[in-house]
Amino acid sequence: MKWVMLIILCVSGSAWAGEARPLTDDPVAEARLKHLAVELRCLVCQNQTLADSSAPLAEDLRREVREMIAKNMSDPEIIEFLVSRYGDFVLYRPPLKATTTLLWVGPFVLMAIGVTALVMTLRRRSRTVAEVSVTDEEHRRVEQLLAEGEKRS
Amino acid sequence: MNRFLLPLSIFVVVVGFLGIGLTLNPREIPSPLVGKAAPEFSQPQLYDQEKVFSPADLKGKVWLLNFWASWCSGCKTEHPVLMDLAQSGQVTIYGMDYKDQREEALTWLQRGGNPYSVVGVDEVGRVGINFGVYGVPETYVIDKQGVIRYKQIGPLYPDTVEKKILPLVKQLESE
Amino acid sequence: MIPEIGHFALILALCVALVQGILPIYGAAVGNSGLMAVAKPAARTQFLLVLTAFGCLAYAFADKDFSVLYVAATSNSQLPLHYRLAAIWGAHEGSLLLWTFILTLWMFAVTLFSGHLPETTRSRILGVMGLVSVGFLLFMLTVSNPFERLIPAAAEGRDLNPLLQDPGMVIHPPMLYMGYVGFSVAFAFAIAALLGGNLDAAWARWSRPWTTVAWCFLTVGIALGSGWAYYELGWGGWWFWDPVENASFMPWLAGTALVHSLAVTDKRGGFKVWTVLLAIMAFSLSLLGTFLVRSGVLTSVHAFATDPKRGLFILVFLAIVIGGSLALYAWRAPKVGLGGSFAMLSREGMLLANNVLLVAAMGSVLLGTLYPLFLDALDLGKISVGPPYFDSVFVPLMVPAIFLMGIGPLAQWKKASVPDLAKRLKWAFGVSLVSALTLPIVMGNWTPLLSLGLLLAIWIVTTSAIGLRERLAHVNGNSLVERLASVPRSYWGMLVAHCGIAVFIVGVTMVKGFETEKDVRMNVGETASIGDYTFRFDGTQDVVGPNYTAARGTFHVSRDGRETTVLYPEKRRYPVQNQIMTEAAIDPGLLRDLYVSLGEPIDDGAWSVRLYHKPFIDWIWGGCFIMALGGALAISDRRYRLAWRRQEPVVPVPTRTARRKVA
């Protein structure tokens, strides 16, 4: 009896066990869609990319983008299509413009200012602070206060 | 300047912006299409599917294009306002039934009245995408040259009609 | 009745908080020890009152009391008890109660562990915390009362948002708030020191353990939130740079900077002014985060109910608390001395350089988060700032910071020398560089970012190993175990936390470099392969949960013909809010996660299915927990334990006039 079951299993197994098909007929186009959609914002959702959203408008827009990919339009052309309708709001990577200059250079300016300020402060400090500082004495007071009998080097 | 005042100054600026931010609606996205020619379309009409609704026929007129749907709750709020506006005869309103079921749309208009002189059907939402619609209801004011002059996102309220739509329509009529 | 008791307890707590916020601070200013003595009992009373209120709300949830508006809005009779209790912080009003409760909990902790503090300092600390508490209690009692009645009572509740019905969500908010609010202690210490004019090394020593504890909680809280997003949102991502996430990340960056700068102030007495500013900043950013999340000025995927009136209240509160403390800072900081001297190239110098980078990174996150608001306020258009922006500015700022992280612990205090450091670090650098360049090739996918990530991770580990070896050479003990044991816990803490960063970086790098995903249409019995794994879909079954119905898929996963695991992803429907939720099924592993989520049913039992193979992803959260563990080790250090055990100060507390400003 066992071997009958085995045969049935094998037969039915081979009858079923197919490799699942990709969801779309054109995985290359789908990869391009995904690549584009993760940098685009779904307009109706609170804060989701076009790739992640399941809102009806997001589905419609993905359909439009798929059609544009099928028409062999370039990425900038597709992005221009969306920006001309919905504005820069759809782009998660804000384009560099007069109004976004501060946004893009800000972090690096911050870092530059920080480093300059640090170097200048340390220079000025090394001139004003005497080599023998009061801190050691003060440190001892803290030690005394906090850890009775605790000897630390 | 005292450099210790710097953190406080930055904070004051940020608080100022946050204060203004409270008065803004982050979900309202201004349309880049205002000031540009309204996209062309030719869609079947709701009542007579054989006939076509196309803005090309409306050159030389000032008109309103209202995107709506029977499934949209904001449209319910705005419907009486549209009815009043249509009855006043100050401007013609055209409707675009957005991603809707025909039967339900017809029932809706039968119940609440029909403020539109023509209703087009945008079954798959493509006209909507071309107009940059991201949520119904949305209303566009289009001038004699077929240029979009104003976009209302969300329902029209009597106040918006009085203060924005009607003055703009008057001005456009006289242009 | 019970909700009224809770409401009344909150009113009483507000009265107590007012007393606690005014009398002790005034007492400390005029030297009246009677007034100062009010602080401790007041803080404890306030804790008990808010605990009572919290208990009353918990009772209302447990009891399914839908005559309480908040209970009716966020729970349902079908909702299991543990989620009903988690629903306490499932929306705005209850979150605030949790915030306030945790604030009073920290206050209570301060009263327990402050025996060694001078009376004036302690009363100022508790006074400042009392004032913060006044703001939150007032906020709750005016515009966000969790005990508001609904008359007539609702027959049934509107249920908790299904997204939040998850074990991760039960513990994520309390952890996160323990971190946020924990920074209020460091803040209160800083304000107390500024008020008293005694900004000395003792102040830094006292605030250090408190700051580290808060930092540990925040680290764990953020990690839990990220893990929740990973498995609950169904996209397989773990960080989205969403405003709400940024709101928790900014205090973390400032807090991390603070932990390090406190080390400089504690050990070397330097940069007190900077440290005190960071302490103010860390807590201010926690408050700012609360504002951003609760006011609705920014749209976020975490759609919290928002109300402009509440926004205005928090903004005014924010302006008073932060504005007040920054004004105090501007007034008092110029009089603070400089502390010990040190060269630019020294451990102090590197810790401060790291601070600069962390604060610049925090500033960038703030800039990116608020920039859309700035433009909108100036009527310059609407833009979105999302992950592509943050990724491209954050990485360049963090790379030098992490590079310095390797060198810093090896540099001497006061003055280090380049040739010496180069000699000690050349092997670490060589090993890191060579392995970072070759490993990705061995693994079959070389990209610059992959190499960079591995370089940084290996750099941290190798430099830590060198540091430990040198340390061991200097401690006494015969056997290795003995010597390992005599290395102070605080040093272990630092090593462990730094290695946590390395683990985290490995996770991020490997996921980015090697993750694979597949969207397939699977009929019953069909298979799909991803990585070395084969998934066989055995169809879906209908299952009924306590408050949902679901289609549960069965996937047999095998590798080289041998079954690895069976995964059961679900598509749930919660009828009360009519929401569909995708519950992904994950097989976690040290080296990889397998992730299956059901898409939509197609026909004949076929489904669209998304499969992910994510190498090393658990290292991301593992790294965070290791960081927090490092923090925990650091505070278990001997000197803090000694400090806690002490009840009375050894040295008589110097009077205010006698206390000399330390130069």
Q: Where are the domains of chain B?
A: 32-174
CA distance C555 to C537: 5
Is the pLDDT confidence value at C552 over 70?
yes
Mutation pick from A25, A42, A88, A122 vs chain C, by most beta carbons of C within 10 Å, is A122
* B96 closest CA partner among B116, B77, B76: B116
The confidence score (pLDDT) of residue C256 equals 96
Shared-domain flag, residues A110 and A140: yes
For C271-298, the pLDDT digits (tens) are 888 999 999 999 999 999 888 887 777 7
Torsion of CA C428, C430, C432, C437, to 10 degrees: 180
Average per-residue pLDDT in chain A?
Answer: 76
CA distance A59 to A61: 5
The confidence score (pLDDT) of residue C432 equals 92
Residue C280 near residue C326 (C-beta atoms within 8 A): yes
| A86 is a domain residue | yes
CA distance C282 to C397: 19
* CATH code, domain with A34: 1.10.8.640
> Mapping DSSP to helix (H, G, I), strand (E, B) and coil, where does residue C338 land?
coil
β-partners of residue C521 are: A21, C608
For C614-624, the pLDDT digits (tens) are 999 999 999 99
Per-residue tokens: C105: 């909990």
CA distance C177 to C248: 10
**Nearest chain A Cα distance for residue C340, angstroms:** 5
Q: Which residue has the tokens 């996918």?
A: C445
List of chain C residues whose C-beta atoms are within 8 Å of the C-beta of residue A128 = 338
**Dihedrals φ, ψ of C401, to 5°?**
-60, -45
Shared-domain flag, residues A127 and A105: yes
**Where does residue C524 rank: exposed (0-12), middle (13-18), buried (19+ CB within 10 A)?**
middle
Per-residue tokens: A137: 């004495």
Per-residue tokens: C303: 């759609």
| A18 is a domain residue | no
Shared-domain flag, residues A50 and A78: yes
pLDDT tier, B28 (very low <50, low <70, confident <90, very high otherwise): confident
| A58 is a domain residue | yes
Is the pLDDT confidence value at B115 over 50?
yes
Q: Which residue has the tokens 């030389």?
A: B60
CA distance C557 to B54: 56
Overall average pLDDT of the C390-413 stretch = 91
| A57 is a domain residue | yes
Residue of C nearest to A125 (CA): C341
Mutation pick from A62, A85, A88 vs chain B, by most beta carbons of B within 10 Å, is A85
The confidence score (pLDDT) of residue B21 equals 85
CA distance C190 to C604: 66
CA distance A56 to A58: 5
The confidence score (pLDDT) of residue C657 equals 38
Average per-residue pLDDT in chain C?
Answer: 88
**Where does residue C325 rank: exposed (0-12), middle (13-18), buried (19+ CB within 10 A)?**
buried
**Which comes out higher in pLDDT, residue C531 or C105?**
C105
Residue C543 near residue C570 (C-beta atoms within 8 A): yes
b/e C549-565 (16+ beta carbons within 10 angstroms → b): ebbbbbbebbeeeeebe
Overall average pLDDT of the C477-502 stretch = 88
C550 dihedral zone (left: phi>0; alpha: psi -120 to 50; beta): beta
Overall average pLDDT of the C174-189 stretch = 94
Of A119-133, B147-161, C333-347, the range with the lowest mean pLDDT is: A119-133
Overall average pLDDT of the C293-304 stretch = 64
For B60-98, the pLDDT digits (tens) are 889 999 999 988 888 888 999 999 999 988 889 999 999
Q: Which domain holds residue A79?
A: 24-90
For residue C580, give the H/E element and its range.
strand C579-583
Is the pLDDT confidence value at C361 over 50?
yes
* C255 closest CA partner among C627, C614, C648: C627
CA distance C506 to C261: 26
The number of residues making up chain C comes to 663
Q: Is B129 on the interface with A (CB under 8 A)?
A: yes
- Cβ distance of B129 and A89 shorter than 8 Å: no
Is the pLDDT confidence value at C653 over 80?
no
Give me the percent of chain C exceeding a pLDDT of 70.
94
C-alpha C24, offset from chain centre: 31
For C216-247, the pLDDT digits (tens) are 999 999 999 999 888 887 677 889 898 888 99
Overall average pLDDT of the B18-28 stretch = 82
Q: Give the pTM.
A: 0.90
**Nearest chain C Cα distance for residue A73, angstroms:** 23
The confidence score (pLDDT) of residue C46 equals 97
C-alpha C278, offset from chain centre: 16
Q: Is C273 on the interface with B (CB under 8 A)?
A: yes
The confidence score (pLDDT) of residue C554 equals 95
Overall average pLDDT of the B7-35 stretch = 87
Total Cβ atoms within 10 A of residue C432:
22
Residue C212 near residue C635 (C-beta atoms within 8 A): yes
| A3 is a domain residue | no
Shared-domain flag, residues A79 and A108: no
Q: Is C363 on the interface with B (CB under 8 A)?
A: no
pLDDT tier, A1 (very low <50, low <70, confident <90, very high otherwise): very low
- Tally the domains of chain A: 2
List of chain A residues whose C-beta atoms are within 8 Å of the C-beta of residue C235 = 52
The confidence score (pLDDT) of residue C602 equals 85
Residue C139 near residue C317 (C-beta atoms within 8 A): yes
- What DSSP state is assigned to residue B37? B
- What DSSP state is assigned to residue C271? -
CA distance C596 to A105: 40
For A65-90, the pLDDT digits (tens) are 988 998 889 999 999 999 999 989 89
Is the pLDDT confidence value at C651 over 70?
no
For residue C610, give the H/E element and its range.
strand C607-615
pLDDT tier, C478 (very low <50, low <70, confident <90, very high otherwise): confident
Is the pLDDT confidence value at A16 over 70?
no
Give me the percent of chain C exceeding a pLDDT of 90.
57
Q: Which chains touch A (3 or more CB pairs under 8 A)?
A: B, C
Q: CATH assignment of B32-174, given 3.30.70.100, 3.40.50.10490, 3.40.30.10, 3.40.190.10?
A: 3.40.30.10
- Cβ distance of A87 and B130 shorter than 8 Å: no
- Cβ distance of C377 and B17 shorter than 8 Å: yes
pLDDT tier, B13 (very low <50, low <70, confident <90, very high otherwise): very high
Q: Is C575 on the interface with A (CB under 8 A)?
A: no
Residue of C nearest to B6 (CA): C330
Average per-residue pLDDT in chain B?
Answer: 89
CA distance C192 to C203: 9
Q: How far is CA A71 from CA A30, B39, C87, in A?
A: 14, 20, 50
| A7 is a domain residue | no
Shared-domain flag, residues A79 and A107: no
> Mapping DSSP to helix (H, G, I), strand (E, B) and coil, where does residue B2 land?
coil
Give, in degrees to the nearest 5, the angle at Cα B57 between B51 and B61: 135
> Where in chain B does DSSP place strands (E)?
43-44, 52-53, 63-68, 92-98, 118-122, 138-142, 148-153
Do the bridges between strand C527-530 and strand C533-544 make them parallel or antiparallel, or are there none, so unpaired?
Answer: antiparallel
Is the pLDDT confidence value at B37 over 80?
yes
Is the pLDDT confidence value at A135 over 80?
no
Overall average pLDDT of the C445-458 stretch = 91
Residues 6+ apart with CB under 8 A from C62: C81, C84, C85
Is the pLDDT confidence value at B125 over 80?
yes
**Which comes out higher in pLDDT, residue C306 or C382?**
C382
